[in-house]
Structure 1
Amino acid sequence: MPLVRLDKILTDTGLCSRSQAREIIRRGRAAVNGTPCADPAAKFDPEAVSLTVDGEPIDGPGHIYIMLNKPAGVLTATRDPRKPTVVDAMPEDWKRRGLFPVGRLDKDTTGLLLLTDDGTFAHKVISPKSHVSKLYEAVVDGTPCEADFAAFREGIVLRDGTQCLPAELIDLGGGRVQVEVFEGKYHQVKRMLGSRQMSVLQLKRLRIGGLWLDGSLAEGEYRRLTPEEIEKIRPDILSK
């Protein structure tokens, strides 16, 4: 890979502007692979450097992939003038890199939500053509019957005539069900259950593809995905 100026590498992390990067480097605050460097024009391979500022590691220019346990009452959006969004709580340097949610969860829906700055990755995850499954658990007012299970397997027709892809409905008992879908229509799970006379009282997403929500994350907490976890989402389509 071509060598790149240090001030450009630092700018590409989203930490600061180009002029701010030059000032940070000239003041001796930056180190490359553990060695201080005060020359903004010094060139390195951006894929092979470990960069720190004031002793703190800085993310390289590669993409960011985040798992968030979304709390209720927060919008799945990058910004909103009146209400909190899932991006608001993210670190400022991640926001500057254009972090955005992959797909959406309704305001009152909780659970697994991915955020990234990688548009290609996001498209592959949410495209109906990719058939990446999403598993939800719901508390409902009602009890499913055999006709409901069959309707989900055949593909629910919503009250407005919208045809859904075949899905899986599982009765957990005690007013709890799980629904696995392979697309992401507007309020889809709530509308599918509602079409079978089951009102949704609570809804949580547990899994996307083969990636499960980390049970150690409290609502509102987040962490970066490992490369292995990214592959679990759907390795055959994400590797293309």
Structure 2
Amino acid sequence: MRLDKLLVELNIGTRSEVKALLKKGLILVDGEKINKPETKVDENSVTISYGGKDYAYAQFHYYMMNKPKGVITATEDKKEATVMDLFYRKCPDAPKGLAPVGRLDKDTTGLLLITNDGALAHELLSPKKHVDKTYFVTLDGPLTSEDINALENGVHIGEGDLTAPSTIKYEGGNTCYITIHEGKFHQVKRMFFAVGKQVLELKRTAFGPLLLDEELLPESHIIELKRESFY
């Protein structure tokens, strides 16, 4: 890869900015000053140093966000704050081109994966893969055994067929966990509405193999993951 292209992908600066930094000798490539932006380097093994920080290239990046309320799950929006607006405020040095995997409603909190790995995103979202998604739900009233049976075996939410089987973990009171593997619009809220319950709070706690890090408080929002997290 050309050195200037690599520096741009490492988010050190724009093409013109990194050329200026190279010319001034402010960037070290494996400990040496290289002034020519067209220099070819092995992006998988080279170490870039700038401003007292070492940079290593990775093709794909993965982040877990504990999504707060009040932001929409989108890459950009002209009227409302998005999860990516929040993400880049929290992680200004993160590479460009990242996007959320799937959607959480504006008032839904919890686990949201952000990545530039399109193949992984497709795998996690594909209906054929039946990837589980678990939510902690706060309701306006307790569940009955009939409610649980209906939810686990499928309910009508206005789309013809019953929803696919789900799993309910309920220990009394007005809260429960529900695990589904579909991704219909407002599905969890509509499922509980179908048994006469209103969802007051909704938080995703698991997405496929990922579990929401309980130490990832809403104030901190984001941690970076390794590719191995998905196996």
Same fold (TM over 0.5): yes
Three-state SS of the structure 1 residue aligned to 2:104 is coil
2:3 to 3, 6, 19: 6
> Which residue of structure 1 lines up, in the alignment, with residue 27 of structure 2?
30
1:183 aligns with 2:143: no
Aligned residue pairs total: 227
- Structure 2, unmatched stretches of 5+, are none
Letter in 1 for 2:35: A
Letter in 1 for 2:226: T
| TM-score, scaled to structure 2 | 0.90
1:146: Cα distance to partner?
2.2
Letter in 2 for 1:67: M
Distance across 1 between alignment mates of 2:14 and 2:78? 25
1:71 aligns with 2:59: no
The Cα RMSD (Å) is 1.9
| TM-score, scaled to structure 1 | 0.87
Distance across 2 between alignment mates of 1:8 and 1:105? 34
1:7: Cα distance to partner?
1.2
> Which residue of structure 2 lines up, in the alignment, with residue 111 of structure 1?
110
Deviation sequence 1:155-188 (CA, Å, 0-9, x none):
2221453532111112132210110011211111
Distance across 2 between alignment mates of 1:143 and 1:161? 27
Letter in 2 for 1:153: E
> Which residue of structure 2 lines up, in the alignment, with residue 238 of structure 1?
none
Name whichever of 22-31 and 206-215 sits farther off. 22-31
The question of whether the paired residues in 2 share the 8 Å contact of 1:127 and 1:183 is answered with no
Letter in 2 for 1:40: P
1:84 to 67, 72, 81: 81
Distance across 2 between alignment mates of 1:58 and 1:118? 20
Three-state SS of the structure 2 residue aligned to 1:177 is strand
1:79: Cα distance to partner?
1.3
Distance across 2 between alignment mates of 1:160 and 1:184? 13
> Which residue of structure 1 lines up, in the alignment, with residue 224 of structure 2?
224
> Which residue of structure 1 lines up, in the alignment, with residue 211 of structure 2?
212
Identity %: 39
Distance across 1 between alignment mates of 2:102 and 2:163? 17
The question of whether the paired residues in 2 share the 8 Å contact of 1:159 and 1:195 is answered with no
1:45: Cα distance to partner?
0.8
CA 156–36 in structure 1, closer or farther in 2 if over 3 Å, else same: farther
1:163 aligns with 2:162: yes
Deviation sequence 1:93-120 (CA, Å, 0-9, x none):
53x6211110000000001001112222
Deviation sequence 1:30-87 (CA, Å, 0-9, x none):
1223444333233221111222322223352511111000001111111122221110
> Which residue of structure 1 lines up, in the alignment, with residue 138 of structure 2?
139
Three-state SS of the structure 1 residue aligned to 2:171 is strand
Letter in 1 for 2:172: G
